[in-house]
Amino acid sequence: MTGEEFSLPLRVYIEDTDAGGIVYYVNYLKFMERARTEFMRSLGFGKDYIFNHDLMFVVRDVAVHYRGPARLDDEVCATAAIARLGGASIVMHQRVLRSGEVLAQGDVTIACVDRSGVKPRRLPQDMSQTLQSLRG
């Protein structure tokens, strides 16, 4: 992975955990989703931009490796960085960490689609240029 990594601090709440107080595996994906959303928002590509350009992003592929458990009340951070950029897709390398320890990491491919027909479409040029500049 190269380029700039965005980091979002999060707290583990009881709703994120299983009966043993450990984060349920699917909730790592929710943490990653929040990091992707806030990353794009920080670049000026929030919901207003997305709606005004009649597009959506849908997850096409996820590969996550779990390394260790997060527990109730832990402070963690979820990260997002551009790993690869295609004409109509973005692969983000993402991690969830606690005090620098990687708890989960993986790559998430999101596809750009038009809102009305949910058909693939190219990333808007300004978005593509901004994201390309972050690849390092």
Instruction: Tell me which of 18, 48, 61, 73 is the catalytic residue.
Output: 18
Active-site annotation holds for 54:
no
Q: What is the secondary structure of 8-37 as a DSSP string? A: EEEE--GGGB-TTSBB-HHHHHHHHHHHHH
CA distances from 12 to 70, 79, 134 (A): 8, 15, 29
Of residues 113, 98, 43, 112, the one with CA closest to residue 66: 98
Label the pairing between strands 55-66 and 89-98.
unpaired
Residues known to be catalytic = 18
